[in-house]
Amino acid sequence: MNTNNAKKISITNPELNGIEPIAEQERNASVFDFLRLQWGGANTLSSAMLGSFPIIFGLSFYQALAATMTGIFIGALILAPMGIFGPNTGTNNAVSSSAHFGVVGRIVGSFLSLLTAICFFSLSVWSSGDALVGAICRIIDAQPNEWMFAIAYGVFAVSVLVICIYGFQFMLLINKIAVTLATVVFAVGFFAFGDQFHAGFAGAGMHMGDAGFWATFIGATLIVMSNPISFGAFLGDWTRYLPSQTSRIKIILATLLAQGFTLLPFIFGLVTTAIIAEKTPEFITSMNYTGGLLTVSPSWFFLPLILLALIGGMSTGTTSLYGTGLDFSSVFPGLSRIKATILIGLLSIMIIFVGRFAFSLVASVTTLVTLIIVTTTPWMVIMTIGYITRRGFYLKDDLQVFNRGQRGGTYWFYHGWNLRGMFAWIPSAAIALMTVNIPGQFVGPLGDLANGIDVSLIVALLLPAITYPILLLAFPEPAEVYGPSGALLDSTSNMENKGTWQTETGVEL
């Protein structure tokens, strides 16, 4: 590796790479680094807060545990293929999606990643800031006020922004530390609350045959599932630093393993929320997990809780904000990665303060996260099917057309849009949104389609899985997008057939 490249990947120098393909000699990350980034980004207090919702919804501990495990398992399976694009294309997933949505249509992925990042960044800062202020005030016997919360939010948000400006290597360093420390603190936490916890916690006393049980169970599962799915647009941010020959199976297994590890903070959330529900149910009614946690915590656990808040605020925030800043440097080609990161960071900080102090959106954001996940899942399904049909073949330079302010290229399709991908995503996302049924929070126009049971996930998975292959078969793509091996699903995709289609219609989809 030459000196210039070594400088670019130094921890003490801001990362200079944007969304242009990463040179092979700079791809010095490992699959273990990739695993650690995922795990560190979710091994936080904000994940524990998401884990509180199955209990808040009224499930018993064992029912909540089943919903949590189901959500993480299904979410991990959907997420797993999203890490394999980076080594192929050398860029992030939104830019890689140009191959399936068109070089202009890739803004769908950028928009979804922006919304997801802002939501999870906000949850991270709010949960960590509240825990930090609350724990410190309990230690010094003081009453918290709005100024304390504002200062805590500001410190967390600005610290995350600085880390993201420095880039991938600095973020990797932070997560190396965070994974170990957070794991130790959560382990200590189980010991701290062990004598208060009763596994027989009955919740609202619902049983499988009761009216409304499955609606509640599936609604809780969806909120838990939002955590693994939220990584979908961001995995390519990290795997672009993996050598191109990295085993795709290892990348998929690393994702499954990392998401499996997140059971630690989620179960911590379940255990502590069950205690809160029994001792201080008013915090459950107000959905104030952090306040309840501080109330039931033994005094000696306040210091570890402060450490967990500090770690969590950095870990989740950096994994969310870094990728969005990186991606928007491609949406607005005039912005460098650093400038785009600062812009998105300042926008997110403004939303954090306005949402917390002006509109009290803390509980509402969890609903918004679920809605974003429902629309992101079809995008991920289309990306995965697209990867399979292309046999992992991508033209790196052609993916960058929009980012360079150019027109044309293999992925230009119809004015920069690949209507096959768009016509599969739009109705799938729209119908999935309409079928959402989260009791007490959001019910779509078709939310009662299955007697109150939320079928949005089924719609979000099945509709694109059916419509996208049909569109590929009905309207074959140009042969050049498939490379020398040809299309997996479309045996008619050759230049002769495409020429006939173009002549008959006069329009290239």
DSSP reduced 3-state for 414:
strand
Tell me how far CA of residue 66 lies from CA of 197, 217, 311, 322, in angstroms.
Answer: 18, 9, 28, 33
Residues with Cβ within 8 Å of residue 281, at least 6 apart in sequence = none
Identify the sign of the CA torsion 213, 215, 218, 222.
Answer: negative
Classify residue 96 by burial, with Cβ atoms within 10 Å: 0-12, 13-18, 19+.
buried
Contact 489, 469 (CB under 8 A): yes
Residue whose token pair is 């509980």 = 363
The helix (H) or strand (E) run that includes residue 26 is none
| pLDDT over threshold 90, residue 59 | yes
Share of the chain above pLDDT 90, in %: 41
Nearest in space to 240 (alpha carbons), one of 337, 313, 160, 312: 337
Quote the pLDDT of residue 360: 65
pLDDT tier at 169, thresholds 50, 70, 90: confident
> What does residue 417 show for φ and ψ, rounded to 5 degrees?
-115, 130
From the list 94, 79, 135, the residue with the least C-alpha distance to 328 is 94
Any bridge partners for residue 442, and if so which?
Answer: 438
Confidence tier at 40 by pLDDT (50, 70, 90): confident
Express each pLDDT in 407-452 by its tens digit.
888 999 999 999 999 999 999 999 999 998 876 778 889 988 888 7
- The pLDDT score that the predictor gives to residue 435 is 92
Dihedral angle at the C-alpha atoms of 341, 343, 349, 352, nearest 10 degrees? -100
Strands (E), 150-286: none
Question: 7: pLDDT confidence band, cut at 50, 70 and 90?
Answer: very low
Q: Answer with the residue of higher pLDDT: 473 or 318.
A: 473
Report the candidate in 387, 391, 369, 341 with the shortest Cα–Cα distance to residue 168.
341
What's the pLDDT score for residue 11?
Answer: 58
Q: Could you give the residue ranges of the DSSP H alpha helices within 194-262?
A: 213-229, 235-239, 248-261
In angstroms, the CA 206 to CA 376 distance is 31
* Residue 64 CA: distances (Å) to CA of 58, 223, 257, 360: 9, 12, 21, 26
Least confident span in 10-14, 399-403, 406-410, 440-444? 10-14
pTM check: above 0.75: yes
Work out whether strand 437-438 and strand 442-443 pair parallel, antiparallel, or are unpaired: antiparallel
Q: In angstroms, rounded to a whole number, what is the distance separating the alpha carbons of residues 71 and 266?
A: 11
CA atoms 89, 92, 97, 98: torsion sign? negative
Per-residue confidence (pLDDT) for residue 503, from 0 to 100: 25
The answer to whether the CB of 117 falls within 8 A of the CB of 297 is: no
CA angle 379, 338, 39 (to 5 degrees): 50
Task: Give the mean pLDDT of the chain.
Answer: 85
Where are the strands (E) in 362-491, listed by range? 437-438, 442-443
Confidence of residue 506 (pLDDT cuts 50, 70, 90): very low
Domains belonging to the chain, first-starting first, are 28-361 (1.10.4160.10)
CA angle 67, 36, 107 (to 5 degrees): 75
**CB under 8 Å to 480, separation ≥6 — which residues?**
410
- Choose among 256, 300, 232, 266: nearest CA to 44: 266
Q: Locate 220 and state its tokens.
A: 């809780």
Per the CB < 8 A criterion, the answer to whether 378 and 429 are in contact is yes
pLDDT at 115: 85
The reported pLDDT for the residue numbered 26 is 87
